[in-house]
Structure 1
Amino acid sequence: MLATIAIATAASAAVLAAPVAGLLGYRQLKRAANAKRLRITTPNRIDESGFVRIGGIDQWVSIRGEDRRNPVILEIQGGPGASNLVFLPRTRPWERHFTIVRWDMRGAGHTFAATGAAGQGELSLEQLYRDALEVTQHVRDRLGVAKVLLVANSFGTVLGLRLARNHPELYSAYVGTDQNVIAGGRERSAYDALVARLRAAGKKKELAAVTALGADTSWSVEQLSQYNKLVLTTDPLSYDTMKTVVIRSLWFSPLHTLRGLRAYLKAMTFSEPLILQVGAIDEWAEGTTFHLPFFVFQGDSDVLTPPEPAKRLFDDVTAPVKDFALIRGASHFASFRHPDQFLDLMLTKVRPAITSPHALQL
């Protein structure tokens, strides 16, 4: 199943609708502290952001790192319509070891906020794929690197797999986290687990709603949003992650004003139809041979994109180097709930695979 941020949208909208002076004052203090944390002062740093002409429209690209000589990561965000920029304070230590490019794709973040729905052009999976290739070329030219490390999360893993599969000449490795496995609609692990949780909890009304949806996933956007909300709210760890990681990151982001947060939420609603375009994707049919190192780091307790389907896909992948690992105590948004564990995996498993003499010859 694909992840949306339905709970974050509802909860953040409620906060925005009824702010109080004390809450706003505390928010300003936290935003100031986060802004201070984001400062990069090392001699060989890079810290730049702004609009780049991509796919015929201006799209926001951020490039940050303490040392330009470090490997370059291009993140492919989740959502759809979300932006990983809100997680910058949580992932600040990553920038000591990697230069990280975060791109607000069309229909998301600052790109959406600048011109609204009317300025987004074609919103399709194929257009996002073409945009991603343009962003990749921009990064290669801007930083003078032959390849970038592709890191995709949640919805972004749909694009990430295609990019890595089709263009090993552009990417040094693929890292998927909150890895989606669609399998042409055959994958139903998350659905079955939700039914079991609702039945065990005696939630008859919610169980009736889920069983009425059925498991074939030929749902409307509204039905999918309802399903995702039930998946996340019926699992304590997922619900806690939404509140303590996602919503707090949104609310205390130093890069987003209150108006910016409203635009952020509108972007997710605007981009929701993208979900329906990926329902028929079959990862096995598209190909399980990758000519680059291939990694999947999944939350061990992720109920939205469970680790078991991700492991089945991983087992069938052929790649020059591959590895699978679980992030302990993590639901969906695993890399942002436990950025320390994710960084350790990147340093111990991924970085050696892309910097060894053999890797540089791939």
Structure 2
Amino acid sequence: MFRRGRTYRTDHITAAGGIDEGTYVKLGGQRQYLLIRGQDKNNPIIIWLHGGPAGPDAYTTYVFEQQLTDSYTFVNWEQRGCGRTYFKNKDQDPHNETVSFKQTQKDLDELVDYLCRRFNKKKVIILGHSYGTDIGQLLHAEAPG
């Protein structure tokens, strides 16, 4: 808890055109957690796909994220069935019965659409770790153009 508070105080983004927001958006019928950070909301967007499944790491990405937030808007998504997303939806899906690779890809597709609309973008950058790489790679392979 102490470390989290210290990280917030030392790394909180306060730039006039910046963003430092934890929020929930509805994806695939569930409210899913996003941590969106960047010095300028007009910068290109990176969506971070964590490993796992069920390996959310928003609390640790500050380590490398700091090097990206000057040039990018960094979106850390806690996928269906894990982290804050799980706890927000545990009453409707306590045993993670809706979690699947295919559903995660549908959620990601909706997330891309949401972010493009919200930040007026035509495309985003997908950055994946471990399981997240598999999700992002298939989305890229199936994307038009």
TM-score (norm 2): 0.89
Give the C-alpha shift of residue 129 in structure 1. 0.8
Of residues 53, 56, 69, the one that matches 2:26 is 53
Query: Do 1:112 and 1:119's aligned partners in 2 also have CA atoms closer than 8 Å?
Result: no
The equivalent residue for 1:105 is: 79
Aligned to 1:34, what secondary structure does the other structure show? helix
Count the aligned residue pairs: 142
Percent identity among equivalent residues?
28
Deviations 1:204-231 (CA, angstroms, capped at 9, x unpaired): xxxxxxxxxxxxxxxxxxxxxxxxxxxx
Query: Do 1:37 and 1:89's aligned partners in 2 also have CA atoms closer than 8 Å?
Result: no
Give the C-alpha shift of residue 120 in structure 1. 4.4
The equivalent residue for 1:163 is: 139
The structure whose residues are more often helix, as a share, is 1
Query: Do 1:49 and 1:61's aligned partners in 2 also have CA atoms closer than 8 Å?
Result: yes
Of residues 127, 131, 134, the one that matches 1:151 is 127
Give the C-alpha shift of residue 168 in structure 1. 4.9
CA distance in 1, matches of 2:4, 2:35: 19
Alignment of 1:30-41 (within 5 A): 30-41=3-14
Query: Do 1:76 and 1:150's aligned partners in 2 also have CA atoms closer than 8 Å?
Result: yes
The answer to whether residue 66 in structure 2 is matched with residue 92 in structure 1 is: yes
Aligned to 2:141, what secondary structure does the other structure show? helix
Amino acid across the alignment from 2:84? H
* Structure-2 change in CA distance of 1:32 and 1:62 (3 Å): closer
Q: Which of the pair has the greater relative contact order for Cα pairs under 8 Å at 6+ separation?
A: 2
Aligned to 2:15, what secondary structure does the other structure show? coil
Amino acid across the alignment from 1:129? Q
Give the C-alpha shift of residue 121 in structure 1. 5.0
The answer to whether residue 40 in structure 2 is matched with residue 67 in structure 1 is: yes
Query: Do 2:31 and 2:89's aligned partners in 1 also have CA atoms closer than 8 Å?
Result: no
CA distance in 1, matches of 2:66, 2:95: 31
Aligned to 2:80, what secondary structure does the other structure show? coil
4+ residue runs over 3 A deviation: none
RMSD: 1.7
Query: Do 2:48 and 2:77's aligned partners in 1 also have CA atoms closer than 8 Å?
Result: yes
What 5-or-longer segments of structure 2 have no aligned partner? none
Aligned to 2:81, what secondary structure does the other structure show? coil
Query: Do 2:44 and 2:73's aligned partners in 1 also have CA atoms closer than 8 Å?
Result: yes
Amino acid across the alignment from 1:52? V
CA distance in 1, matches of 2:124, 2:144: 10
The equivalent residue for 2:104 is: 128
Give the C-alpha shift of residue 139 in structure 1. 0.6
Give the C-alpha shift of residue 93 in structure 1. 2.6
The structure whose residues are more often strand, as a share, is 2
Aligned to 1:103, what secondary structure does the other structure show? strand
Give the C-alpha shift of residue 119 in structure 1. 7.4
* Structure-2 change in CA distance of 1:110 and 1:147 (3 Å): same
Give the C-alpha shift of residue 105 in structure 1. 0.8
Give the C-alpha shift of residue 38 in structure 1. 2.5
CA distance in 1, matches of 2:54, 2:5: 26
Query: Do 1:40 and 1:47's aligned partners in 2 also have CA atoms closer than 8 Å?
Result: yes
Alignment of 1:201-216 (within 5 A): none
* Structure-2 change in CA distance of 1:168 and 1:148 (3 Å): farther
CA distance in 2, matches of 1:74, 1:148: 7
TM-score (norm 1): 0.37
The equivalent residue for 1:78 is: 51
Higher-Rg member (1/2): 1
Amino acid across the alignment from 1:105? Q
Give the C-alpha shift of residue 107 in structure 1. 0.9
* Structure-2 change in CA distance of 1:44 and 1:166 (3 Å): same
Give the C-alpha shift of residue 157 in structure 1. 1.0
